[in-house]
Chains A and B, each alone.
Chain A
Amino acid sequence: AQTVTQSQPEMSVQEAETVTLSCTYDTSESDYYLFWYKQPPSRQMILVIRQEAYKQQNATENRFSVNFQKAAKSFSLKISDSQLGDAAMYFCAYRTNYGGSQGNLIFGKGTKLSVKP
């Protein structure tokens, strides 16, 4: 069974600085997707960024980028120019690409990010 591990329960960053959140996963599959979700106090999970395992190029979305190391099974999230609105819980998630649409998301335990003004 696949597992997702986030080893940093809490992180803190100064506004305008850069922070990196760590995520490792375990799988025997070669075709899968990885996601980072943000969960603010409103509780709604918001997709931040996604990575397809067969793509070597790291995904980027504005201030958010990932460092995807497939061999090491590592998928870290870098937030540049941190803003107060970035403060939230961040979850790393894995989804198999086998079985078509039947794969569900497997989440890590999350990292609580605080942004200091």
Chain B
Amino acid sequence: EAGVAQSPRYKIIEKRQSVAFWCNPISGHATLYWYQQILGQGPKLLIQFQNNGVVDDSQLPKDRFSAERLKGVDSTLKIQPAKLEDSAVYLCASSLIETISRHGYTFGSGTRLTVV
């Protein structure tokens, strides 16, 4: 099966600019996650979707970050305006509800964002 697709792979922007990341999960995976991984740290959950509904966005900085998952498939994560501290790798992951605990999640290769 195809994996979790993310684009772009790299992005460099100036502070105060806006940026968007795209994620296409594995077909049929109802649950989709966005994680932020700052250099030297483990990934931290930003938002979790189940189908096209938000399950958990408690750690999403809502003043500048937004995310949507239209039709319960693809998802986009947007930052506007970006700050220097937003420099990180943004990982998307998906899973089947039925096998989430047995198989964990399938992760994409992430987008590395550099804010200058």
Contacts and interface: CB of A to CB of B under 8 A. Distances in A.
B55 A102 contact: yes
Interface residues of A, number: 25
Given A44-B108, A102-B55, A91 B101 contact: no
Given A101-B97, A104-B56, A47 B103 contact: yes
A43 B56 contact: no
Contacts of B103: 47
A102 B42 contact: no
Given A43-B89, A43-B109, A109 B50 contact: no
Contacts, number: 62
B107 interface: yes
Interface in A18-56: 33, 35, 37, 42-47, 50, 52
B93 interface: yes
Most A CB contacts (10 A, CB to CB) among B43, B44, B95 go to B43
Contact of B112 (A37, A43, A108, A109): A43
Contacts of B65: none
B109 A97 contact: no
Interface of A: 4, 33, 35, 37, 42-47, 50, 52, 91, 93, 95, 97, 100-102, 104-105, 107-110
